[in-house]
Every structure is written in structure tokens, then in C-alpha cells.
Structure 1
Amino acid sequence: MIACYTNRLSARPGERVDLHATNDLAGECSVEVERIGAEIELVHQFDITVADHPTPSDADMNGCGWPAAGDFIIGKDWKSGYYRIRMTNADKKSTTHFVCVLPEKPGKNEIAIILATNTYHAYNYWGGANAYSHVTKLMKGQASFEDAMAQAIGTLSAERPFPDLIIAAPDDAPRLINDRKRGFKEQPWASDMNWMIKHHASPYDGSAGFVNKWEHRFAEWAEKNGIELDYYTDYDLDAKDDILQAYKCALFVGHSEYWSGKERDQVEKYVDAGGNIAILSGNTCFWKVRWENDGKTMVNHKWRGHTAEPEASKDDATHLWSHESVGRPEAELTGLSFVFAGYHRLGMCVSRGAAGYTIYRDNHWTLEGTDLFYGDVLGGEVPLIGYESDGCRFHFDEDELPVPIPMVGVPENLEIIGIAPCAFGEDPDSGYAPIIPPEQLDVIANVIYGDDSPAAQKKVLRGHAILASFKRGKGEVFNTGTTEWAHGLAAGDPFIDRITKNVLNRFTGKTGRAV
């Protein structure tokens, strides 16, 4: 085995990064550090000697405890971005990790992108388990899916490597969406099952990580369009206050599912004071987490939050942001919530859906110059709606336009641009075996309706993804409501491209000029 991790996931130019590693050959390894964006740029190369170290049985919760095998200094000329660390031993076996290079000081550029590293940690099952299940036992056939899910852990160590398919997905890694509609009486499926079998992929590998996933696709698009970004991790917003105040716009891309209390406090303060956030993400800010041990431990009890730590205050509790034990629905900040939407074109979740937004409010500022009109479908060819989506309840006004129903934090002034049907889960009465992991429908029904009856749970299964914006305080929020927006940019869709540029122009004060 060869594996490595760093003592920190982000660092500024001039700061040192320690590399903790094990190598069963117990000898010299070469290390390459590359910036990953529109191009791959090798910035540093060095050799270290790495011994063979055992992996503790509780590494998933308490870390590996390997000594530092070497270190490197972030170069003064290294641009802010995602940097891959590749370590290779004498047998040519490699492992990868990463570090986010921060700007030398906040505000070097106008736009900050916050990498969804809390989500990376939640899905990380290196050493056994993650926040969802005991993945190793599941993949080895040592536990059923139900039993493996019961062995999910609520304390996750950052002092361990990541599985390769999370942190180093190959170029041909499939998206988490069915790229075509289900045929007549065809058995449902999810993603590319043949690829997953070939690569021994777990159900969790595609849901987090940078390389060849959402944030990477966005970074490529931004750099090709001359858009400079300053990079941060979720934990940076937890560890230091007021980072965002130096920026005109902050971005959350892909799958920004897990937020700490301090991170959310900072983002809300930023927007209320006049900052703008563009959420090009789905399932955003769904789970509340807590960082301990100077960023070495992420506490994330999920559904068990109120029972695992019954005495925890609302500031410390970990659960759904919308759960009564926390009491801060994410839609107060994001405008939308996963509880009102769910999945599209996965398994039996809207398996023959259009995979795009039907446009209703075609005079909205985001659509200027897009040539989109009432009833048009945005992104169906991409496909744009898939995997996880956020939405709200709504009704149609006297002008036959959708307007929000202000509940569970959804703001009354939300402007709904487009909608697409979603399903929070698969209907058990469909006649087809479910594929999507079951959620706690009783908990969600209670959050939405204050009622966990079977009828309320059934109602939870029906929802809509929403494309929307709204003003909060002195700032503004744009939300795509889908994890897949960056893939629309990667596909070269001219409508999605123009909408994104409209948003960034407005949010950086460049309205009327092309980005």
C-alpha cells in the first residue's frame, strides 16, 4: 500500500505543508505538485523517503497517525487554486492528495470560490466508514446495505488519505445522472453501472472531490473565459472570520452539502452587508457540521444528531440545518432546499424527465441576451437536472407565473425563473426495486409539515428543482438549484454560459459589459 495525506488542506504562499505517508516498499518516493485547472501545470518536484506504517483500525474516526515523511513550501508565485499532490514509489505505484493554495491576501481577485471540502470529508471512507455507511464492509460483502448504513460514523478524521475515485477520478468518470430517458418498461438504473463495476466503485465515489467533477469543470470554464478566482476551503471560512468581505462575489459549486455554523455565519453576514453569492450547486447547506481539534476532526452525526448529542446547544448540534434541534433552515440563506426537490433521471426518480428547466419568468435579469422565452427548456440536452437538486413549494399567481410559498425558510421575495419536477426518493409502490439510498422520510415530513404520517411522507416524494434569485439584506443570492450547472458550462451550452456571465457581471458590478 502507498498512501498519503497532508497536515492541512489549505495554505498561503510561503507556508509549509507536511506530507504524512506510508509505503509498503519502505523506500524513496517521488512527489509531484500540480495545479489543476484548464491546464495541468507542474510547479514542484522532490523526493522523500517513506517508511511502511500500520493503519489503525479506527483511522476513519481518529486518523492514521503516520509521521511526516517530508514537506514543501507553497511557492510565492503559485496562483490560488487546487493543487494535486502525487506520490509515486519505486514500483511505480502512485497515490494522490491535494492542497488548496489560498491567495496571498484576501481580495486579490473579485470572486472567491469556496471548495466543498466538508463534503469531501463526509464522503471519505478511507479506513472503513464515512458519514453514510461502513463502505469497506459494504463493498466486501461483509454487510448488507442496511447494516452498512447503520454503521455510519459521526466523527470523521481529516488526518487520513482519500479513496482514489473520490480524490483522483479518471477522465472517463461518469456523471451521476442517466444521460437518456428510461425506455418503455425498462429496468431503472443510475449513472453508468458498467463503469462502476469495472472500477469497483462504491455508491459514494462520485459524490465528492474536485478532479474531473463539478468544481474542476467550473475552474476550466472560468480560466478559459479569463475569470480569475481566489480559492478557499469550507474550513477556511470556519477558521477565520471576515474572509469574504474583501470580495464582490462568492461561489459555491457542485455539491456544497455540508456547512459548519461558523461558515454559515460568515456567509450570512457577508450577504447582509452587501455581498453576493452565486450557488451553482445542489443539495446546498443541507447538513450542519462542527469542526474540532484545530480542523483535524469533523463532527457530523446527520440523522442521529439530536440523539447522539442530546445536550448539544443549537450552535454545536449537528443535524439538518432545517431540523428543530438546529432551527436555521438553509433556505433562509440559499432561497431553496433539498427537502423540496431531490433527484431527477436517476433510478425511478423522474426517470423520463426533460433534464432541463422550463422557463417561466423570461424577463428576469439573469436571462438577458439568452434568447430564452416562456416555456422554453433550458439545459435538456446537457442534461442539466440530475443527481441532486434544490427547490421550494410554489403556486401560480394570476399571471400564471410561479411564486414561492414561504415555508421552512423559503423567502417570500424569491423570484422563480424556471422549474423542473424532482423526486425526493423512489415510490415504493412503483413495482421496481429502489436504487437511490432511502432517506428518512418521516424526519423530512416532520420538518416540512410538522407531520410524519404516511400521507405526509408520500407527499415529500414529489417536488421541483428551482432556478431562482432573491435579495437578502443589502446583498443578492442566485441559486441554480442543481449540482450539474458546471457540466452545462463544460458542454458549451450557450444559454447556461450567458446566464452565468450575466450573474457574475451583475455580482461584480460589470452589468452591461461582457465578462
Structure 2
Amino acid sequence: MLACYTDRLSLRPGETFALHISVENGPCRLEIARVGKGREIVHTQDGIVAGHYPAPEDADRNGCGWPVALEVTAGADWRTGYYDIVLTDAAGEATHHFVCIKPAAGTTGSKAVLVLATNTYHSYNWWGGANAYSNVTGLMTGKVPFDQAMDEAIGVSSTQRPFTQMIIAAPDDAPRLINMRSRGFKEKPWTADPDWMRKHRISPYDGSAGFLNKWEHAFAAWTEEEGYAFDYVTDYDLDTDADLLSAYTSAFFVGHSEYWSGKQREQVERFVDGGGYAAILSGNTCFWKVRWEDDGKTYVCHKWKGFEAEDVPDADATHLWSHPAFKAPEAEITGLSFNFGGYHRLGMCVSRGSAGFTVYNDKHWALEGTDLFYGDILGGDVPLIGYESDGCQFEFGADGLPKAIPLGGVPENLEIIGIAPVTLGEDSSSGYAPMIPPEKLDVIAQVIHGDGSPAMQQRVLRGHAMLASFKRGKGEVFNTGTTEWAHGLAAHDPFVETITRNVMKRFGVTQS
């Protein structure tokens, strides 16, 4: 076995992090590289000696407790960004971890900041056995049936353990979480690339988080190619540094920023209300409320079990942000919600969908210069809509354009640009075996509508992805409503690129 973890996930140039290693075939070689449009190696070290330590049975909950193998000081010239840590043992086996390098203390390299969705990384990480979703090891070995595995999810997990490698170091050929073509006539449904997933023994959770060869990586590569400058921080940094965003004009959340802590959200709201811009190029954003303990060593995320798993004040509980107990549905800051959205082109979830937005408001500022007009499809060739999407309920106004219904925190002044049908799950009456892990539709129906009946659950199944924006306080929020926006940039889709450039311009992100 070769595995490693760091004592922290973010630091500034000149600061030091500890690397904890377990290796059977030592010594090891260390390589650290900044990853964006390319791979910039900043540090190598040979002859690293470390012991071989077992993984404790409760490593997922309480960490590994391995001793420090070495400490690494970030160079003064290490630019802000995502840094891939690669350890290779004497037998040639490699393992990955990472750190985020923030800008040097007291400085910013940009007026725009990219917030890495590291809370999502932690929620999906199942190294040691389980994650916030299920007993993944039991599920993957066939020892535990699916329903039992989900019941054995852990609500308290440790950051002091390695990351599952398919989460933290997906290979270059890893498939996207979308069916790249629509389902044929009476064709058996599938998800992503089943052959690749079987070959690599992919769990249902490996594709949903991480940087390398996923959404944030695609965004970083595109922005650097375009000459846009961003500082990098993590979700946890927004929790611990209450004034972090005050140095910036705009904050970007890309890909799958699903889990937000209370302090993180409070800071983003203060930022926007004070005149900041939030660009959400993501889907399923801020869906779950989480919290941190033990100076970042313990991550609490009980998901659906939030109010029954622990005896804490409601303000500290973890559950859906839209739960009435919090009086703070996520749509108040995001404009949209997964409660009104769902999946597209996965399994039987809109399996023959266009995978693009139908454009309605072609006069919106974001569409300037796009050559997009009413009724056009945006992103169908990418495909742009898949995996998870956020939306709202709406009705058509006298002008023939969709108007947001202010339900579940959705702001009345939301400007809807484009729409696509999505669903929160697969209809049990379709005749096909479900492939997408089910959401608790009864809970969502009760939370949003105060009615958890089967009829309302069926209503909740039917949703829409939205491309939208709204003004809040002195600031503004732009939300793509889809996890896949960065893949549109990676494909150099001219429509997606032009819209993104419009957002950059309006939100104060400059090119070098």
C-alpha cells in the first residue's frame, strides 16, 4: 500500500504543510506541480523514507493518525493555484494528494477568486470505507446491499486521511457524468461510459468531486488560456477567514459546489450585498448545510439524517439548506435550487433531452454578441446539460417570457435566460430499472410545499434547469444552473465562451 495525506489543504507561499505517508516499498519520490492549462513542476525530492502503517478500522471517521513523514515549505514563487502532490514508491506505484496555494499574505494577484469546492471533495471521499452517502467499500465489494450501504453512510468524517484516487486523480480519459448521446428507440438506459467504469471499478461517487480532469480543472485551463487571472482558495478558507472576500470584486464557484457551511454562506451573502459579484458556473450549488470542527480536522455532514443524528441547536445542524428550521433556503443567494432541478441525460432522467438550454430572454446582457435568439438551443452539441442542474418554478408572463415564481427562496427579480427540462429521479413506472441513487422526494416535497404526499412527490420529480441572473443588495449573481458549464469552455463552444466572457467583463475579471 502507498497512500498519503496532508495536515491542511490550503496555505500561502512561505508556509509549511506536513505530509503523512504509509509505504511498503520505499523509499519514495515526491513531485509537486501546479495544474492549470499545463503542469508546472515546482518541487521534487528523492529518497523519502516513511513507515508502513495500517489503516485504522475507523479511518473514515477518525483519521489515520500516521506520523509526519516530512514537511514541505511552499516556495515564495509558488503562484496561487491547485497543486498536485504525487508520491511514487520504489516499485513505481504512485498516489496523489493536493494543496491549494493562496496568494501571498497581504496581497491579491487578482480581483477575482476561484473557490475550490473542497467540501464536496470531503463529502464524496470514501477512503477507509464510507462517505456521507454510503458504506462504499461494502457496496463495491458486494458484501452490503445498496439500501443497507446507504444507511451506513457516515455523518462525521476526518480530513486526516488520503483521498480515494479516482476522486482526486481521475485519469485523462475519465468520462463525463452525462450520456454523450440521447437514448435510442427502446434502448436500455445507461450512465456515462459503463465499459470504462467497469474496467476501472468506479464507484457511484468517484466522478462527482475532485479537481484533476474535472470541472474546475477545465475552467482553470480555459481562463489561463484566455489570460484571466484568478486567486485560489478553498471552501474551508471562507469558513475560517470571515473577511477573505473583501479583497475581491468577484467570486467564482465552478462545477459541483454542493456543500456550504454556515460561515461560508454568511460571507458570500455579505459580499454580494455589499456590491460583490458571485458567478456560479455550477449545478446543485449550496444544497447541503455542513459544519467544521477540530480546526478543520473533522467535517460534519449528516445530510438527510441531520436532525436525528445529533442533539445540537438548529443553527449548528446539518441538513438541506432549504429546511424550514434554518429559514435560509439556498436560492436566496444562488437564485436557483436543485429542489426545482435535477438530472438530465443520465439513465432514464430525460434520456432523450437536448442537453442544451432553450433560449427565451435573448436580450439579456449575458447574451450580447452570442448570435443567440429566442428559441435557439444553447450547448446541445457540448453537451451542456447533464448530471446535476438547478432551477425554479416559473410561469409565462404577458410578454411570452418565463417569470420566476418566488418559492423556496427564489428571488422574484430572477431573470431567466434559458430553460431545459430535468428530473429529480427516474419514474418508477417507466419499465426500466433505475440507475440514479434516489433523492428523498418526500422530504423535498415537505420542505418546499409542506406536503410530502405521493402526488406532490411526483410533482417534485418534474423540474427545469435554468440559466439565470439576479441582483441582490448592491451586488449581482449569475448562475448557469448546470454542473457542465466548464465542459462547454473546454470544448471551446463559441456560445458558452462568449457568455462567459460577458460575465467576466461585467464582474470585473480582467485579462493580462
TM interval, shorter chain, is: over 0.9
The equivalent of 1:162 in structure 2 is 163
The equivalent of 1:327 in structure 2 is 327
SS at match of 1:427: coil
Indicate whether 1:380 and 2:380 are aligned. yes
Relative to 1, partners in 2 of residues 1:149 and 1:106: Cα closer, same or farther, differing over 3 Å?
Answer: farther
Contact 2:466/2:480 (CA < 8 Å) preserved in 1?
Answer: yes
Q: Distance in 1 between matches of 2:282 and 2:194?
A: 24
The equivalent of 2:467 in structure 1 is 467
The equivalent of 1:225 in structure 2 is 226
SS at match of 1:147: helix
The equivalent of 1:370 in structure 2 is 370
Specify the code of the residue in structure 2 equivalent to 1:139: M
Contact 1:423/1:462 (CA < 8 Å) preserved in 2?
Answer: yes
Specify the code of the residue in structure 2 equivalent to 1:412: E
SS at match of 1:18: strand
SS at match of 1:306: coil
1:33-432 alignment to 2 at 5 Å?
A: 33-47=32-46, 48-104=48-104, 105-309=106-310, 311-432=311-432
Specify the code of the residue in structure 2 equivalent to 1:110: K
Q: Distance in 1 between matches of 2:321 and 2:75?
A: 39
Q: Distance in 1 between matches of 2:110 and 2:4?
A: 32
Relative to 1, partners in 2 of residues 1:431 and 1:106: Cα closer, same or farther, differing over 3 Å?
Answer: farther
Contact 1:306/1:325 (CA < 8 Å) preserved in 2?
Answer: no
SS at match of 1:385: coil
Q: Distance in 2 between matches of 1:307 and 1:509?
A: 44
Q: Distance in 1 between matches of 2:484 and 2:275?
A: 27
The offset of 1:314, in angstroms, is 2.9
For structure 1, list consecutive stretches of 5 or more residues without a partner in the other structure: none
TM-score by length of 2: 0.99
Specify the code of the residue in structure 1 equivalent to 2:421: P
Which consecutive aligned stretches of 4+ in structure 1 deviate over 3 angstroms post-superposition? none
| RMSD over aligned Cα atoms | 1.0
Contact 1:34/1:40 (CA < 8 Å) preserved in 2?
Answer: yes
The offset of 1:108, in angstroms, is 2.2
Contact 2:252/2:280 (CA < 8 Å) preserved in 1?
Answer: yes
The offset of 1:106, in angstroms, is 4.9
Contact 1:5/1:97 (CA < 8 Å) preserved in 2?
Answer: yes
Q: Distance in 1 between matches of 2:191 and 2:459?
A: 23
Q: Distance in 2 between matches of 1:178 and 1:345?
A: 5
The equivalent of 1:29 in structure 2 is 28
Q: Provide, for residues 445-467 of structure 1, a one-character-per-residue CA deviation record: whole Å limited to 9, x for no partner.
A: 01121000000000010000000
SS at match of 2:314: coil
The offset of 1:46, in angstroms, is 1.1
The offset of 1:499, in angstroms, is 0.3
Specify the code of the residue in structure 2 equivalent to 1:236: D
Q: Distance in 2 between matches of 1:219 and 1:182?
A: 32
Q: Distance in 2 between matches of 1:177 and 1:466?
A: 18
The equivalent of 1:485 in structure 2 is 485
Contact 1:249/1:275 (CA < 8 Å) preserved in 2?
Answer: yes
The offset of 1:327, in angstroms, is 2.4
Specify the code of the residue in structure 2 equivalent to 1:445: A
SS at match of 2:489: helix
Q: Distance in 2 between matches of 1:268 and 1:416?
A: 21
The offset of 1:313, in angstroms, is 2.0
Q: Provide, for residues 295-333 of structure 1, a one-character-per-residue CA deviation record: whole Å limited to 9, x for no partner.
A: 001000000001112x42232110000012322100000
- Aligned-pair identity in percent equals 65
- Bigger mean CA deviation after superposition, 418-427 or 46-55: 46-55
Q: Provide, for residues 25-62 of structure 1, a one-character-per-residue CA deviation record: whole Å limited to 9, x for no partner.
A: 3x311100011110101100113211101111000000
Q: Provide, for residues 163-210 of structure 1, a one-character-per-residue CA deviation record: whole Å limited to 9, x for no partner.
A: 110000000000000000000011111110100000011010000000
The equivalent of 1:449 in structure 2 is 449
The offset of 1:509, in angstroms, is 7.4
Relative to 1, partners in 2 of residues 1:322 and 1:106: Cα closer, same or farther, differing over 3 Å?
Answer: farther
SS at match of 1:438: coil
Q: Distance in 1 between matches of 2:36 and 2:507?
A: 23
TM-score by length of 1: 0.98
Q: Distance in 2 between matches of 1:240 and 1:290?
A: 15
Q: Distance in 2 between matches of 1:357 and 1:371?
A: 14
SS at match of 1:348: coil
Specify the code of the residue in structure 2 equivalent to 1:239: T
Q: Provide, for residues 358-379 of structure 1, a one-character-per-residue CA deviation record: whole Å limited to 9, x for no partner.
A: 0000000000000000000000
Relative to 1, partners in 2 of residues 1:121 and 1:219: Cα closer, same or farther, differing over 3 Å?
Answer: same
Contact 1:237/1:263 (CA < 8 Å) preserved in 2?
Answer: yes
Specify the code of the residue in structure 2 equivalent to 1:432: Y
Q: Distance in 2 between matches of 1:35 and 1:314?
A: 40
Q: Distance in 2 between matches of 1:373 and 1:132?
A: 41
The equivalent of 2:435 in structure 1 is 435
Contact 1:319/1:326 (CA < 8 Å) preserved in 2?
Answer: no
Q: Distance in 2 between matches of 1:96 and 1:13?
A: 21
Indicate whether 1:506 and 2:502 are aligned. no
Contact 1:106/1:243 (CA < 8 Å) preserved in 2?
Answer: no
The count of corresponding residues between Structure 1 and Structure 2 is: 510
Q: Provide, for residues 129-165 of structure 1, a one-character-per-residue CA deviation record: whole Å limited to 9, x for no partner.
A: 0000000010000011111111000001000001110
Contact 1:317/1:325 (CA < 8 Å) preserved in 2?
Answer: no
Contact 1:30/1:88 (CA < 8 Å) preserved in 2?
Answer: yes
